Structure 1
Amino acid sequence: MMSGFVPGLELSRAYYADVVAPLVADIPHSAALIGPGSEVLAFDTQRSADHDWGPRVLLFVPPGAAAEAEAAVEAGLPSFFRGYPTVFAQHGQVRHGVRVAELGGWLSSRLGFDPRGPITPLDWLSAPWQALAEVTCGEVFHDGLEELNRVRAALRWYPDDLWRYVLACQWQRIGQEESFPGRCAEVGDELGSATLGGRLVREVMRLALLQRRRYPPLRQVARQRAGSPAGRRRARRGPGGGAGRPHLAGSGGGSQRRLRAAGRRAQQDRAHRPRRDVGAALP
Structure 2
Amino acid sequence: MTTADPAFLPGLELSRILYEEAVRPLLDDACPGLRHAAARVGTGSEVLGFDTPRSADHEWGPQLQLFLAPDEAARYGALLRRLLAERLPKDVRGWPTHFRRHDDPLDPVGQMELTDGPVDHRVTVQDVGGWLTRETGADPSAAEPTVLDWLAMPQQKLAEVTGGAVFHDGLGTLTAARRRLAWYPDQVWRYLLACQWQRISQQEAFVGRCAEVGDDLGSAVVAGQLVRDLMRLCLLLERRYAPYGKWLGSAFGRLDVAGGLLPSLRRALAATEYPERERGLCEAYETVAALQNGTGLAAPVDPACRSYHSRPFQVLHAERFARVLAATVTDPELRGRPLTGGVDQWADSTDFLNLTEPVRAATRALG
1:22-101 matches, within 5 Å, as 22-25=25-28, 26=32, 27-65=34-72, 66-89=77-100, 92=108, 94=110, 95-101=120-126
- Does residue 171 (structure 1) correspond to residue 197 (structure 2)? The answer is yes
Aligned residue in 1 for 2:221: 195
- Does residue 137 (structure 1) correspond to residue 163 (structure 2)? The answer is yes
Distance in 2 of aligned mates of 1:150 and 1:7: 26
Distance in 1 of aligned mates of 2:206 and 2:100: 44
Distance in 1 of aligned mates of 2:209 and 2:168: 55
Aligned residue in 1 for 2:137: 112
Distance in 2 of aligned mates of 1:150 and 1:97: 25
Two-structure CA RMSD over aligned residues (Å): 2.6
Aligned residue in 1 for 2:298: none
Shift of 1:106: 0.5
- Aligned partner of residue 209 in structure 1, secondary structure: helix
Gap regions ≥5 residues in structure 2: 102-106, 111-119, 280-306, 313-367
What is the aligned residue count?
Answer: 254
Shift of 1:189: 1.4
Cα deviation code 1:98-141 (max 9, x no counterpart): 11111111000000111121311000110011000000111100
Change beyond 3 A, Cα 1:247–1:125 = farther
Aligned residue in 2 for 1:19: 22
Q: Tell me which moved more, 73-82 or 255-264.
A: 255-264
Change beyond 3 A, Cα 1:248–1:38 = farther
Distance in 2 of aligned mates of 1:32 and 1:4: 23
Shift of 1:148: 0.9
TM-score (norm 1): 0.82
Gap regions ≥5 residues in structure 1: 237-244, 271-283
Percentage of pairs with the same residue: 48
- Aligned partner of residue 71 in structure 2, secondary structure: coil
Distance in 2 of aligned mates of 1:135 and 1:78: 28
Q: Which amino acid aligns with 2:38?
A: A
- Aligned partner of residue 70 in structure 2, secondary structure: coil
1:200-239 matches, within 5 Å, as 200-226=226-252, 231-232=253-254, 235-236=255-256
Shift of 1:188: 1.7
Distance in 2 of aligned mates of 1:97 and 1:249: 40
Task: Could you list the structure 1 runs, at least 4 aligned residues long, displaced by more than 6 angstroms after superposition.
Answer: 263-266
Asked if structure 1 preserves the Cα contact closer than 8 Å seen for 2:59 and 2:109, the reply is no
Distance in 2 of aligned mates of 1:120 and 1:246: 32
Aligned residue in 2 for 1:4: 7
TM-score (norm 2): 0.64
Shift of 1:4: 3.1
